[in-house]
Amino acid sequence: MIKWKSRFNNIKGWLYLLPAILFLGFFMVYPLIDVFVYSFEEGYNSASQTYFGTGTYNYSYVLHDPYFLQALKNTFLLVVITVPLSTGIALLISVGLNSIKPLRNLLQTVYFLPYVTNTLAVGLVFMILFKKTAYSDGLVNLLIQWFGGESVDFIDGPYWAKMFVLCLYTIWVVMPFKILILTSALASVNQDYYKAARVDGTSKFRTFMRITLPMISPMLFYLVITGFIGAFKAYSDAVALFGTNLNAAGMNTIVGYVYDMLYGDSGGYPSYASAAAIILFAIVLTITCINLLISRKNVHY
Amino acid sequence: MKEAHPGEARYAKIEQTAERRSTAARAVTYFFLILWAAIVLFPFYWMILTSVKSYGAYNSEYIPKFFTLSPTLQNYVDAFTAVPLARYFVNTIIFTLLTTAIMIVVITLAAFAFSRLDFKGRNAAFVLFLSLMMIPGELVIITNFVTITNLDMRNTFQGLILPSVTSVFYIYLLKENFEQVPDSLYKAAKVDGTSDMKYLLKVLVPISRPTLITVTILKVIECWNSYVWPRLITDDENYFLVSNGIQEIRENGFGRENIPAMMAAVVVISLPLIGLFLIFHKKIMAGVSRGGTKG
């Protein structure tokens, strides 16, 4: 009787898990294995589902594809520019926010607004603000002219201008999350430390460097890691600004390259897409590991 | 007393300077904080403003005006008649509701199994689940695309919904929450002969309502904004979600570049989530700081 009951309990436990296991197995575990298989199948034809042989040709093709190299360059630039800038600005804003009382809640709510907006939709607003058309140079260009600068088409113009808008929009999009995390980290620092510092007559800058920064360093570090990962996966921001044909605009990202290989006018090559995706995650993994190593020295838990 | 006077005066002076300096610092702080608020809000202002300018007025303004004296709703009419915005909208609502509803059921059952039921292999299964959290979506999307295509589920709601109805992270979050409910309640229910399912629905779910609501809201936001998967899996306009719809409108809609109508569509698409945010902003922000990631 007891034996029967415990067997029934075993089955029941797995029954409750069954839906989750089915979905995860089918849409996560199996694809994860399959993507490695794909990446080593040479000359895979998605129509007939046949391939010539196995090997590393897909990787070498991707690594020699000028579009991939362009995407790699764009993604790296985006990461190197936006992660430090957005984290730094978010830190400044959070410190400022933490030092005031009136308007604080209101501002905090306002700052979070971009988080709940549709990246594709609001990207269009950025596009019309920066784009030069036959009718108008666009608001930003008029401002530049007003200050005596020369107008430039940020959407169809030179590379640096396009990169600038992409970085700006990316920062605008990622800021809410960082400000939210940092303000709550700052608010949770024990006030006694500050009181002690004030009694000792420590300067504000020194208090910040010696108390605030070390106390929030785990959260700061968490943001840097998630920032790196997020920026490496950038894609929809670029689509929002430059349209779906990112290769033509020269603004593709690695993730964009993966999807273009999979689907669309240049699509139908899941093997190349898999190889590119695996390269991307090798990069992300490496950088995350480096980050972890650095943090071990500098983060105070 | 008399000797103390000069010192006191100096002290007062120092204090005055310090106060002036801190007032100045506060002013600078407010200036930059309000500047950032303006940067955040300006795109929203601009999209609403542009959406109520008439097509003719917008295109005749070489220098865009920061206000309009003759607002029009014509662009909104255009957005719903010239392009199938209503269809995109309805599709997104169906997609969001179904995905969120199925996910809540799946994760509640799984979290219950992990937190209350005692069965062989539970801990091993949980460790396996946790390790799945590290798998990036971009890596599995390739095979999923091929799978869904082979199953002939392109341009169907099943194809859109099925791959995103589980989230290991939310299972984890909910399991933690279920475990905070005292075990004695479960034992008492067992003694009373209450079935597990009844206990889950009548006791655990009501107690964990705040967490369930947070998870629901976060999932709704994610669904409403999802772009990549729907783009891969749909090429029939009848199944487009709002993100794909807006991209389609940008590239092919409204004939000649009709920016005001495009902005009207953008406003319509953004409104539901902004509304949700205005109502639930405390819950959303608390939820995101607990378990959201973006950027």
pLDDT digits (tens, 9 = 90+) for B94-149: 999 999 999 999 999 999 999 988 888 899 999 999 888 888 888 899 999 989 98
- Whether residue B230 has pLDDT greater than 90: yes
Distance of CA A203 to the CA centre of its chain: 36
In this prediction, residue A47 carries a pLDDT of: 63
Count of domains in chain A?
Answer: 1
Per-residue model confidence (pLDDT) at position A301 = 61
Give the start-to-end residue ranges of the domains of chain B.
4-51, 74-291
Among A27-31, A85-89, B249-253, name the one with the lowest average pLDDT.
Answer: B249-253
Residue B295's pLDDT band (boundaries 50, 70, 90)? Answer: very low
CB–CB contacts below 8 A, A to B? 270
User: What interhelical angle do A30-40 and A57-64 show, nearest 10?
Assistant: 80
Residues of B in contact with A23 (CB under 8 A): 106, 162-163, 165-166
User: Is A170 a member of any domain?
Assistant: yes
Instruction: Spell A224-241 as b/e; 16+ CB within 10 A means b.
Output: bebbbbbbbbbbbbbbbb
A24 occurs within a structural domain: no
- Which one of A128-137, A287-296, B8-17 scores highest in mean pLDDT? A287-296
Specify the CATH number for the domain of residue A240: 1.10.3720.10
Average confidence score pLDDT of chain B: 87
Tokens found for residue A264? 């669309």
Phi-psi region of A91 (alpha: psi -120 to 50; beta: other; left: phi over 0): alpha
Amino acid at B67: F
Q: How far is B6 from chain A (nearest CA, A)?
A: 22
User: Could you say which residues from 214 to 273 on chain A have a Cβ atom under 8 Å away from some Cβ of chain B?
Assistant: 226-227, 230-231, 233, 235-236, 239, 243-244, 255, 258-259, 262-263, 270, 273
B81: phi then psi, degrees, rounded to nearest 5: -105, -40
**Percentage of chain A lying above the pLDDT 90 cut:** 50
On whether the CB atoms of residues B269 and B47 are closer than 8 A, the answer is no
Beta strands A53-54 and A41-42: pairing type? antiparallel
For residue B95, CA distances in Å to A236, B158, B161, B187, B248 come to: 20, 9, 7, 39, 18
Band (A254; pLDDT cuts 50, 70, 90): very high
Q: How many angstroms separate the CA of residue B245 from the nearest CA in chain A? A: 10
A266-290 burial code (b ≥16 CB/10 A, e <16): ebebbbbbbbbbbbbbebbeeeeee
Distance CA A159, CA A91 (A): 29
How much is the pLDDT for B193? 83
Residue B66 DSSP symbol: S
pLDDT, position A143: 85
Residue A30, classified by CB atoms within 10 Å of its CB into exposed (0-12), middle (13-18) or buried (19+), is middle
Enumerate the residues of chain B whose CB falls inside 8 A of the CB of residue A226: 293, 295
The pLDDT tens digits for B51-92 are: 998 888 887 877 778 888 788 888 899 888 888 899 999 999
Task: Map residue A45 onto helix, strand or coil.
Answer: strand
- CB contact B74 to A (< 8 Å): no
Check whether B1 has a pLDDT greater than 50: no
What is the Cα–Cα distance from A181 to A175, expressed in whole angstroms? Answer: 10
Reported as a single tens digit per residue, the pLDDT across A151-189 is: 888 888 899 999 999 999 999 999 999 999 999 999 888
- Within a domain: residue A185? yes
Q: What is the tens place of the pLDDT at every residue in B159-214?
A: 999 999 999 999 999 999 999 888 888 888 888 888 888 889 988 999 999 899 98
The structure's pTM equals 0.90
Q: Is A4 domain-assigned?
A: no
∠A284-A290-A296 over CA atoms, to 5°?
A: 135
How sure is the predictor about A48, in pLDDT bands with cuts at 50, 70 and 90? low
Question: Is the per-residue pLDDT at B8 higher than 80?
Answer: no
Per-residue pLDDT tens for A118-149? 999 999 999 989 988 777 778 888 888 888 88
- Angstrom distance (rounded) from CA B157 to CA B136: 23
Q: Examine the predicted complex and report whether its ipTM is higher than 0.90.
A: no
Checking if the pLDDT of B253 tops 80, the result is: no
Which chain A residues are within 8 Å of B32, Cβ to Cβ? 92-93, 96
Among B77, B21, B66, residue whose Cα is nearest residue B42: B66
Which pLDDT score, from 0 to 100, does residue B5 have? 65
Residues of A in contact with B285 (CB under 8 A): 108-109, 112, 180
Q: How far is B108 from A17, CA to CA, in rounded Å?
A: 10
Q: What pLDDT is stored for residue A276 in this prediction?
A: 94
Q: Which amino acid is at A283?
A: I
- Helical H segments across chain B, by residue range: 4-51, 55-60, 74-81, 85-115, 122-132, 137-150, 157-161, 168-179, 183-191, 196-199, 205-207, 209-225, 228-233, 242-252, 259-291
| Paired residues of A54 in beta bridges | A41
Whole-angstrom distance, CA of residue B221 vs CA of residue B201: 25
Q: Is A234 left (phi over 0), alpha (psi -120 to 50) or beta?
A: beta
- Would you call B88 an interface residue with chain A, using a CB distance cutoff of 8 Å? no
Check CB contact under 8 Å for B228 and A236.
yes
A172: containing domain: 63-298
Superfamily of domain B74-291: MetI-like (1.10.3720.10)
The region, left, alpha or beta by phi > 0 then psi within -120 to 50, assigned to residue B121 is: left
CA distance A130 to chain B (A): 11
Q: B242 and chain A: CB distance < 8 Å anywhere? A: yes
For chain A, the distance separating the N- and C-terminal CA atoms, rounded to the nearest angstrom, is: 52
Residues within 8 A of B (CB atoms), A 6-25 only: 9-14, 16-17, 19-21, 23-24
| Portion of chain B with pLDDT greater than 90, in percent | 46
Both tokens of residue B12?
């007062």
Cβ atoms of B184 and B146 within 8 Å: the answer is no
Residue A169 falls inside a structural domain: yes
A250 within domain boundaries = yes
Between B249 and A47, residue with greater pLDDT: B249
Half-sphere exposure of A71 (CA within 13 A, CB side): 30
